[in-house]
C-alpha cells in the first residue's frame, strides 16, 4: 500500500517579545518507529493578514518518530505591532527514498498575536527597553488606537518619518544607530496626550582585548592584564573569563583589565591561556602560551641600608621577597654621585643582599639603588629602591700641630 | 537634626528662606537629570510637569500653622530624601549628593525654628499663615515608578519638577511669615494668593 504522506502536525507558535522571536514546535506523524529520515520543512510567515506572506524559508533536519522539532524566527518588527501567522509543509529529503518526492499539504495557519495583551491606551510604541549594538539597524513601531490622531515621532529631538504598515501601525527603520549616552537613546511619538516612547540601550561594539600578557611576582599567583578597549557604554559591563586549556580550568575575572590565577603546587610550567570577553552581542577572545618561569617579575627589594660606612667604603645591605624555594635573584646595585651612575654591580642572591662599595670619596653624598630580576630566566627588573648616604670625613694625614 | 540652634527668629527665618530659594532652582537637580537622561527636547521637557499629589499644594501650605508647616516641610523632604536614594541609578551623582546636603541643611534649620516657636509665647506661632482650618496633610506617598524605562524617565522628571515647585511654594510661605512679623497684622489670604 502507498506509504502515508508525512505531514507536520501539532504546530504551535509561542512569542518572545523581548527577543522579537517566534518559537515554532511541531512533530511529524506517520514515520515508522525505527525510521530516521532527513526532511526539509518549508515555513511561511505572514503579517497582519495570512495572505500577506513576508517571509519564506526552508529548514532541514533529521526526524524520528514523535520527535518534537523546534525552530525560531527573529522578526525585525516588534511582535507587538502586528499579528503574525505561520504555516509549514514538509518533504522527505533523504537519498534512501526514491524520487519523485512531493511536498506535503500545508499545515493550517497558526496565529501569533502579541497585541492581545495590550490595554486600551491611545498610543503604544515598541520595542520597550531594547538592547542594540552600535551600527545596527532598529525598527521601531507605534500602534495608534485613535486613527484621526496626527502623530509625530522623534529620535531624540529629530523628527523622524516612518512607513504605514496597517491602518493603526507605523514603523520607523533607524539605520546604523549610534551610541549617545549610557542612559539610552530616546525615541518618542507625540499624539494628543503625553508623549509615548521607548529607550534604546545602544552598546558600543565590544573590542577584542589588546596587549594580553601574564606575569607572576612570586610563582604563587599569576596576574594577566590586558587593554579592554573602550567601555561599551552599557550599565551592564561585559564579562571577562580566563580559560587554561592544559588544566581545563577557568576563572571569572573580577576586573575588566586584569585577572589573577592561582598557581598550585602540582601545576604546570606551561599555560595556554584564552581570555574571553563577552557581552549580550558578542564574544571576543585572545590567547597566549605562557611559560611561568619566563614571566617572573620580582617584587621590589626592601630595607636597603648602608652599613659600616667609612671615608672610602660602604657596605650596602638589602632584603628580597623569596620566590619559589628561595630561587636565585640577580640584583643590580648602582652607586650614583651627583645624579650620575658611577658604579654598577650585578650580585646573585637568594635571601639577603650585601655588597661592599669601595673607592668612595670621603665626606661625599651618594645614592645607592638596587633592583632585582629572576636569575633562572631574566624577564623584567623589579622596581628600583634607593637610599642616600654620606661617607665619613677622611682622618687627618699628619698629627695636629700642637705646640 | 544636629548642631547648635540660633535663638534669633529673623536670622533663622532668613536662612530658611535662602535655602528654599536655592532648592527651588531646577539647575540644582532637575536640569542635570534632564541632561543625563536626554529629555532636553522641547516635547519631552514640555511634558515634564509636576503631577498633582506628589507634593503638598500651595493652598494646603498657606493654611497650616507654623508648627504644622514646619512638620509638613520636614516630613515631605524626608520622604523625598528616601526617594533620592532609591533613584541613585537614574540621577547624576553630584546633583543628587548636593540635593541631599541641601535637604539635610534645611532640616537642621527647620528643627531649630520649630524649637524656637515652641518656646515662643507669640500667639501667631500657633495660627496658620492663612486663616481657616488648616488640615494637616497626610504625608505624600512615594510615586510608583513604571517598569518601562521611557515612562520611568518621564515620571521621575515630573517628580523632580514637583520637588522644585514645592520648594518655591515653601519659600513663598516663609516670606509670608517674614512680612507678617514685620507688619504685625493678620495675614490676609488674598495676599497669599496674589503672590502665587
Q: Which of A55, A134, A153, A37 is nearest to A95 (CA)?
A: A37
Cβ–Cβ below 8 Å for A235 and B89: yes
Chain B partners of A194 at a C-beta cutoff of 8 Å?
47, 154
Q: Find the CB nearest B36 among A129, A183, A194.
A: A183
Q: Find the CB nearest B47 among A156, A180, A194.
A: A194
Report the length, in residues, of chain B. 196
When scoring A197, A233, A235, A236 by the number of chain B Cβ atoms within 10 A, the one with the most, hence best to mutate, is: A197
Interface contact A129, partner B, CB < 8 A: yes
Per-residue pLDDT at B186 exceeds 50? no
Q: Find the CB nearest B150 among A154, A181, A188.
A: A188
Interface contact B51, partner A, CB < 8 A: no
**Looking at residue B182, what is its pLDDT?**
44
- Quote the DSSP letter at residue A290: E
What share of chain A has pLDDT > 70, as a percent? 96
| Between B3 and A138, residue with greater pLDDT | A138
Per-residue pLDDT at A111 exceeds 70? yes
Per-residue pLDDT at A394 exceeds 90? no
Summarize the confidence of residues B182-194 as an average pLDDT: 36
pLDDT tens figures, A185-197 = 999 999 888 899 9
Q: Which of residues 62-81 of B touch A (CB under 8 A)?
A: none
Cβ–Cβ below 8 Å for B42 and A157: yes
Summarize the confidence of residues B75-99 as an average pLDDT: 95
Summarize the confidence of residues A123-127 as an average pLDDT: 95
This model's pTM is above 0.90? no
Summarize the confidence of residues A79-97 as an average pLDDT: 92
Chain A partners of B150 at a C-beta cutoff of 8 Å?
125, 128, 186, 188, 196-199
pLDDT tens figures, A226-278 = 999 988 888 788 999 999 999 999 999 999 999 999 998 776 889 999 999 99
A328-to-A333, A344, A353, A356 alpha-carbon distances in Å: 16, 19, 11, 20
Q: Which of A31, A27, A34, A29 is nearest to A12 (CA)?
A: A27
Interface contact B35, partner A, CB < 8 A: no
Per-residue pLDDT at B114 exceeds 70? yes
**Looking at residue B72, what is its pLDDT?**
94
Phi, psi of A335, deg, nearest 5: -115, 125
| Between A246 and A65, residue with greater pLDDT | A246
Q: Which of residues 223-252 of A touch B (CB under 8 A)?
A: 235
**Looking at residue A326, what is its pLDDT?**
78
Per-residue pLDDT at B196 exceeds 50? no
How many angstroms separate the CA of residue B86 from the nearest CA in chain A? 16
**Looking at residue A102, what is its pLDDT?**
87
pLDDT tens figures, B43-59 = 999 999 999 999 999 99
| E strand segments, A308-400 | 314-319, 329-337, 340-349, 352-357, 365-374, 385-390
How many angstroms separate the CA of residue B163 from the nearest CA in chain A? 20
Summarize the confidence of residues B114-140 as an average pLDDT: 62
Please report which confidence band the pLDDT of residue A373 belongs to, taking 50, 70 and 90 as the band edges.
Answer: very high
Per-residue pLDDT at A165 exceeds 50? yes
Mean model confidence pLDDT for chain A: 92
Interface contact B41, partner A, CB < 8 A: yes
Q: Which of residues 147-176 of B touch A (CB under 8 A)?
A: 148-150, 153-154
Upstream peptide bond of A263 is cis (omega within 30 degrees of 0) = no
Summarize the confidence of residues B144-148 as an average pLDDT: 85
The string of DSSP letters for A9-63 reads EEEEEEEETTTTEEEEEEEE-S--TT-EEEEEEEEEEEESSTT-EEEEEEEEEEE
Decide if A364 contacts A281 (C-beta within 8 A). Answer: no
Per-residue pLDDT at B126 exceeds 60? no
Please report which confidence band the pLDDT of residue B191 belongs to, taking 50, 70 and 90 as the band edges.
Answer: very low
Summarize the confidence of residues A40-52 as an average pLDDT: 96
Cβ–Cβ below 8 Å for B44 and A195: yes
Q: Which three cell numbers stand for residue A394?
A: 677622611
Amino acid at each position: 500500500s502507498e506509504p502515508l504522506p508525512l505531514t507536520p502536525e501539532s504546530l504551535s507558535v509561542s512569542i518572545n517579545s523581548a527577543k522579537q522571536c517566534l518559537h515554532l514546535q511541531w512533530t511529524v506523524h506517520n514515520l515508522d518507529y525505527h525510521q530516521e529520515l532527513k526532511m526539509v520543512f518549508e515555513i511561511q510567515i505572514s503579517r497582519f493578514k495570512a495572505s500577506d506572506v513576508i517571509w519564506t524559508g526552508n529548514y532541514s533536519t533529521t526526524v524520528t518518530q514523535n520527535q518534537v522539532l523546534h525552530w525560531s524566527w527573529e522578526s525585525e518588527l516588534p511582535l507587538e505591532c502586528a499579528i503574525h501567522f505561520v504555516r509549514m509543509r514538509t518533504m522527505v529529503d533523504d537519498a534512501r527514498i526514491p524520487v519523485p518526492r512531493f511536498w506535503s499539504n500545508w499545515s493550517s495557519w497558526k496565529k501569533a498575536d502579541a497585541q492581545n495583551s495590550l490595554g486600551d491606551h491611545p498610543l503604544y510604541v515598541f520595542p520597550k527597553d531594547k538592547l542594540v549594538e552600535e551600527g545596527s539597524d532598529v525598527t521601531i513601531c507605534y500602534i495608534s488606537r485613535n486613527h484621526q490622531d496626527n502623530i509625530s515621532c522623534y529620535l531624540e529631538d529629530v523628527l523622524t518619518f516612518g512607513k504605514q504598515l496597517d491602518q493603526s501601525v507605523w514603523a520607523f527603520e533607524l539605520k546604523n544607530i549610534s551610541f549617545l549616552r549610557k542612559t539610552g537613546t530616546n525615541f518618542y511619538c507625540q499624539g494628543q496626550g503625553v508623549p509615548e516612547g521607548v529607550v534604546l540601550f545602544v552598546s558600543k561594539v565590544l573590542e577584542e582585548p589588546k596587549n594580553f600578557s601574564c606575569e607572576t611576582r612570586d610563582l604563587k599567583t599569576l596576574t594577566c592584564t590586558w587593554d579592554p578597549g573602550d567601555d561599551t557604554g552599557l550599565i551592564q559591563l561585559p564579562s571577562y573569563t580566563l580559560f587554561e586549556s592544559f588544566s581545563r580550568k577557568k576563572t571569572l575575572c573580577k576586573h575588566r583589565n586584569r585577572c589573577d590565577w592561582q598557581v598550585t603546587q602540582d601545576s604546570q610550567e606551561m599555560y595556554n591561556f584564552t581570555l574571553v570577553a563577552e557581552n549580550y552581542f558578542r564574544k571576543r577572545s585572545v590567547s597566549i602560551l605562557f611559560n611561568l618561569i619566563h614571566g617572573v617579575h620580582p617584587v621590589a627589594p626592601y630595607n636597603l641600608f648602608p652599613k659600616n660606612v667609612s671615608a672610602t667604603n660602604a657596605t650596602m645591605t638589602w632584603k628580597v621577597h623569596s620566590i619559589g624555594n628561595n630561587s636565585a635573584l640577580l640584583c643590580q646595585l648602582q652607586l650614583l654621585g651627583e645624579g650620575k651612575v658611577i658604579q654598577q654591580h650585578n650580585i646573585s642572591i637568594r635571601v639577603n643582599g650585601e655588597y661592599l662599595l669601595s673607592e668612595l670619596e670621603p665626606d661625599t653624598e651618594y645614592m645607592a639603588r638596587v633592583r632585582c630580576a629572576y636569575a633562572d630566566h631574566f624577564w623584567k627588573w623589579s622596581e628600583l629602591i634607593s637610599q642616600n648616604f654620606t661617607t665619613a670625613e677622611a682622618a687627618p694625614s699628619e698629627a695636629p700641630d700642637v705646640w | 537634626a544636629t548642631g547648635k540652634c540660633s535663638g534669633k527668629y529673623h536670622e533663622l527665618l532668613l536662612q530658611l528662606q535662602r535655602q528654599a530659594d536655592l532648592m527651588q532652582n531646577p539647575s540644582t537637580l532637575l536640569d542635570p537629570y534632564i541632561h543625563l537622561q536626554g529629555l532636553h527636547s522641547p516635547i519631552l521637557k514640555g511634558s515634564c510637569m509636576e503631577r498633582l499629589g506628589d507634593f503638598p499644594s500651595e493652598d494646603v501650605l498657606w493654611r497650616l500653622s507654623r508648627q504644622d508647616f514646619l512638620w509638613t516641610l520636614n516630613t515631605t523632604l524626608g520622604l523625598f530624601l528616601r526617594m533620592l536614594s532609591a533613584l541613585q541609578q537614574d540621577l547624576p551623582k553630584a546633583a543628587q549628593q548636593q540635593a541631599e546636603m541641601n535637604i539635610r541643611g534645611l532640616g537642621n534649620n527647620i528643627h531649630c525654628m520649630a524649637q524656637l516657636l515652641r518656646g515662643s509665647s507669640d500667639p501667631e506661632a500657633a495660627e496658620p499663615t492663612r486663616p481657616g482650618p488648616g488640615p494637616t496633610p497626610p504625608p505624600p506617598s512615594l510615586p510608583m515608578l513604571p517598569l518601562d524605562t521611557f515612562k520611568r524617565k518621564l515620571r521621575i522628571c515630573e517628580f523632580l519638577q514637583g520637588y522644585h515647585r514645592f520648594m518655591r511654594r515653601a519659600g513663598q510661605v516663609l516670606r509670608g511669615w517674614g512680612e507678617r512679623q514685620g507688619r504685625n497684622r493678620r495675614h490676609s489670604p488674598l495676599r497669599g494668593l496674589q503672590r502665587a
